[in-house]
């Protein structure tokens, strides 16, 4: 029961017994009625919150799961595309490498000096004959080099000087 008008003497250091206390019936006490009303409202809100809470918690979880599945699908697609691009790049690399090797082989064969049939007949048949072959090859490379790299011949440069 609520106490009204109680003065506690213990706070002043004297006798700890309450003095001049009166009680009001519980049904008439406005504070008790207000507290009872607030407690009932709180209980109703807690019940409604508990009932709707799984819906509120479940929705974000479901949404996050759906987003996770979508992201996994995108990752799988990107991995597939990357693997395809890697294999295609490997194929292109092999193709380019094969073509370069063929060009280099063709260049080696074309750079091997093909001397005209009587070019070495004027050289003696002694130990200097291999050197003559190298000299003729060097002359041929020097005269062909500007055509390969510069687009013009040394003959034209020498002719203009």
Condensed to tens digits (0 to 9), the pLDDT of residues 81-130 reads: 999 999 999 999 999 999 888 888 777 766 555 666 666 666 666 566 66
Provide the pLDDT confidence category of residue 159 given band limits of 50, 70 and 90. Answer: very low
25 occurs within a structural domain: no
Q: Residue 149 — pLDDT band, cuts 50, 70, 90?
A: low
The tally of domains found in the chain comes to: 1
How far are the Cα atoms of 17, 89, 91, 103, 106 from residue 97, in angstroms, in the given order? 107, 12, 10, 10, 14
Domain presence at residue 32: no
In a domain, residue 10? The reply is: no
Residue 92 half-sphere exposure, CB side, CA atoms within 13 Å?
6
- Tell me whether residue 87 is in a domain: no
The CA distance from 80 to 70, in Å, is 15
Look at residue 147 and tell me if it is in a domain: yes
pLDDT one-digit tens code per residue, 14-73? 555 555 655 666 677 788 888 888 899 999 888 887 776 665 656 788 889 999 999 999
Q: What is the pLDDT of residue 161?
A: 40
Domain that holds residue 153: 129-161
Indicate whether 135 belongs to any domain: yes
Helix (H) or strand (E) holding 23: strand 22-23
Does the residue 143 lie in any domain?
yes
Q: Residue 118 has what pLDDT?
A: 65
Structure tokens at 76: 């799988």
Residue 133 lies in a domain: yes
At 9, is the pLDDT very low, low, confident or very high (cuts 50, 70, 90)? very low
Residue 8 clears pLDDT 90, i.e. is over it = no
């Amino acid at each position: 029961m609520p106490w009204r008008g109680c003065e506690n003497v213990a706070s002043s250091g004297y006798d700890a017994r309450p003095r001049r206390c009166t009680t009001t019936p519980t049904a008439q006490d406005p504070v008790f009625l207000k507290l009872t009303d607030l407690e009932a409202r709180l209980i109703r809100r807690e019940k409604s919150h508990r009932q709707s809470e799984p819906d509120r918690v479940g929705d974000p979880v479901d949404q996050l799961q759906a987003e996770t599945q979508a992201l996994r699908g995108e990752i799988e697609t990107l991995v597939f595309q990357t693997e395809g691009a890697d294999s295609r790049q490997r194929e292109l690399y092999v193709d380019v490498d094969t073509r370069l090797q063929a060009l280099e082989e063709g260049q080696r064969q074309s750079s091997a000096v093909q001397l005209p049939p009587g070019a070495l007949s004027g050289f003696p048949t002694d130990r200097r004959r291999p050197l003559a072959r190298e000299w003729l090859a060097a002359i041929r490379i020097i005269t062909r080099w500007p055509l390969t790299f510069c687009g013009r011949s040394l003959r034209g440069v020498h002719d203009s000087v």
